[in-house]
Amino acid sequence: MAEQKFDLVVIGSGPAGEAAAMSAAKKGMRAAVIEKRPAVGGNCTHKGTIPSKALRHSVKQLMRYNTQAVFRALGEPRRLTFPQVMETVHKVINYQVEMHTSFYARNRVELIIGEARFRDAHTVEVLLQDGATEVLKAEKFIVATGSRPYRPADVNFNHPRVYDSDTILDMQHTPHSIMIYGAGVIGCEYASIFAALGIKVDLINTRDSLLEFLDDEISDALSYHLRDMGVTVRHREEYAKVVPTDNGVIMEMQSGKRIHADALLWCNGRSGNTGSLGLENVGLEANHRGQLKVDEHYCTEVDSIYAVGDVIGWPSLASASYDQGRAVAAAIAGRGHRVIEDAPTGIYTLPEISSVGQTESELTAARVPYEVGRALFKHTARAQISGERVGMLKILFHIETHEILGIHCFGAEAAEIVHIGQAIMKQPAPNNVIDFFVNTTFNYPTMAEAYRSAALDGLNRVMRL
C-alpha cells in the first residue's frame, strides 16, 4: 500500500477544489487532488453548469433560426431532437476536460483518480480504479466534493421516463411533453430549454412564485415569458405520488390534481456528496442534506479539515466556489481570508437573468429611501439590431446619496451586462453612485448603454420629488 505526504490534499476537482489546489501550489504548498470521476471538472463540467449552458446555447441558436425572417430564405423552420442538440454539448465537455487537466500538470499538482475516505484527521485512503489502495497524509484537507440531485425514496428513478438534473443529459428520446417538479434555478432553466425545443412543459412550483429570492419585477417577467413560451406554471403544488407507466409518468398532487406527461424531470433540491467520505472517522457529521458546517475561514469543526463549494450549501454557484477555493487556500497559507458574499446571480433561462445587491422588497423592509431607474432593451439600438428586444435593466439607488444598492437585469446577455453595474457598485464611496453612468460615454450601439438610459430615468424621477 503506497503512502505519500502532502501539505494539502483536496477531495474533488470541481471549481472549488481546482481553485484551492492551484492557489495552494502557487503559494508553495505541495498539493494533491483526488477525483472520483475518470476525468476532472466535477459536476460543474460533466453534469451541471457547462452541459446545461451549452445545451441552452444550442437551443437558443435554433430559436434564432426559427424565428428570424432573414433565415426563412434558407428554408422552413427546423426541429432537432434532444440527442442531436446534445452532440454539441459533448464537444464542449471534452474541451473543458482537456483544458482543466492541463492545469494540474502545469502547476505540478498531483492528480489521483479514485475514491477518498478519511482514516483520521490527517490521513485518507484512496481506492484507485484498478482496485489498489493508496494512503495520503497531509497537514490540511479540503472537502470540495460538490453535490448531486436530491432523490426522495418514494420516486422510482430507475424508470426510463423518470430523470433528475444529472440523468436528463443522457435522455435518448425527445418527449412530446415533460413535467418538471421543482421551479428553482435548475427547474426554470430546463423549462425554458425544453419549451424552446417545442416540448410541452408543466413546471410545478411548491412555492408562491418563481425564484422568490429575485426582485419581484424580475420574477414576474420570468413567469410571463415562460408562459409566453407555452410553459404551464403551477404554483403552490406538492406531489403525493409519482406513478410511472409504460408510456409516461403520472403525478398525483396533494391538491387532488393528476398530471400526465411523457417524462418527469425531478429538480427539487440537492444533497452534498459526503456519504462515502468516512466522516465518522474524524468526528464530523453532515446535516440532513449531506452538507458540512464551516466557519468564516471555511474550516469545519476539525481543525485540519476545510470545506468549500456546493458541499457547504449556499450560494452553490460555480463562480462563488472558485472564489471560496482561492480564499481557503489563502487562509491555510496564513495570508488572510475572504468571506464570499453578495456574489452576482446568473440564471440561464431563456431569456437569462442576473442580479447583484438588494431587491426592492429588501430595501422596503429595511426602510431605505431608494429610487428605481429602468431601461427597456427594446429601446436600445443594439437590441433592435440583434433582435433581442425582450428584457430590461433596473438600477436601485439611494435617493439622497445616489449610492447604487442593486442591479437587476432580465434579457439577452444579462449575466454579462450585470458586471458593469457590479464594478461601479463595489467602488468605495463616493464613486459607487448612479451618476457615473450619466457622466460616462458608452460605445454606440451597445447593450451597455442601457446603464445610461436607466440612470437618466432614475435621476429624472428623483428630480421630480
* 42 labelled ligand-binding: yes
From the list 10, 30, 29, 28, the residue with the least C-alpha distance to 20 is 10
Cell representation of residue 99: 483544458
* 147 labelled ligand-binding: yes
Burial class of residue 150 (count of CB atoms within 10 Å of its CB; 0-12, 13-18, 19+): middle
* 231 labelled ligand-binding: no
* 416 labelled ligand-binding: no
* 361 labelled ligand-binding: no
* 40 labelled ligand-binding: yes
* 182 labelled ligand-binding: yes
Distance of CA 113 to the CA centre of its chain: 25
* 186 labelled ligand-binding: yes
* 12 labelled ligand-binding: no
* 409 labelled ligand-binding: no
* 449 labelled ligand-binding: no
* 44 labelled ligand-binding: yes
* 269 labelled ligand-binding: yes
* 267 labelled ligand-binding: no
Amino acid, res. 270: R
Length of the chain: 465
Cα separation, 167 vs 287, whole angstroms:
25
From the list 132, 94, 97, 95, the residue with the least C-alpha distance to 114 is 132
* 39 labelled ligand-binding: yes
* 198 labelled ligand-binding: no
* 184 labelled ligand-binding: yes
From the list 208, 231, 221, the residue with the least C-alpha distance to 408 is 221
* 38 labelled ligand-binding: yes
| 265, 165 contact by CB (below 8 A) | yes
| Residues placed in the known binding site for NAD(+) | 182-189, 269
| Residues placed in the known binding site for FAD | 35-44, 53, 145-147, 310
| Residues placed in the known binding site | 35-44, 53, 145-147, 182-189, 269, 310
